[in-house]
């Protein structure tokens, strides 16, 4: 069963913004992309470095260290779909709050 963790009010995560959160020892980045929320592990699969400061173009997040690009909707490596994806997490909004589920989607 998914455990839902409150990461804050929706108003603190407007469209085009991201927020990094530590949830039970896991660093997760939550994105608001045109009113849809996505969450992924804040760790590149290449070298384990944080993704939170990477460039976001549409749904493509580029690692600021080595240039690997990941789709924030499903964690897939855009350049090499056979590569290990970044772990993604379900997100929902209830009563004006953003909640992340700690059970991975894949």
What residue segments make up the domains of the chain, in order of their start?
4-101
pTM for this model (two decimals): 0.91
Distance (Å, whole) CA 23 – CA 18: 15
Distance (Å, whole) CA 56 – CA 42: 14
Distance (Å, whole) CA 47 – CA 2: 28
Tens of pLDDT, residues 23-74: 988 999 999 999 999 999 999 998 899 999 999 999 999 999 999 999 999 9
Q: How many degrees, rounded to 5, is the angle at CA 42 between CA 46 and CA 77?
A: 45
Distance (Å, whole) CA 71 – CA 58: 9
Q: What is the DSSP letter of 75?
A: -
Class of domain 4-101 as given by CATH: mainly beta
Q: Give the pLDDT band of residue 12 (cuts 50, 70, 90).
A: very high
């Amino acid at each position: 069963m998914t455990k839902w963790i409150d990461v804050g009010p929706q108003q603190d995560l407007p469209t085009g913004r991201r927020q990094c959160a530590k949830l039970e020892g896991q660093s997760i980045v939550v994105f608001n992309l045109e009113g849809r929320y996505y969450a992924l592990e804040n760790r590149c699969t290449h070298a384990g470095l944080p993704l939170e400061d990477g460039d976001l173009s549409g749904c493509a997040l580029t690692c600021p260290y080595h240039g690997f690009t990941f789709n924030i909707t499903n964690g897939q490596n855009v350049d090499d779909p056979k590569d290990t994806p970044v772990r993604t997490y379900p997100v929902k909004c209830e009563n004006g709050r953003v909640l992340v589920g700690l059970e991975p989607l894949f």
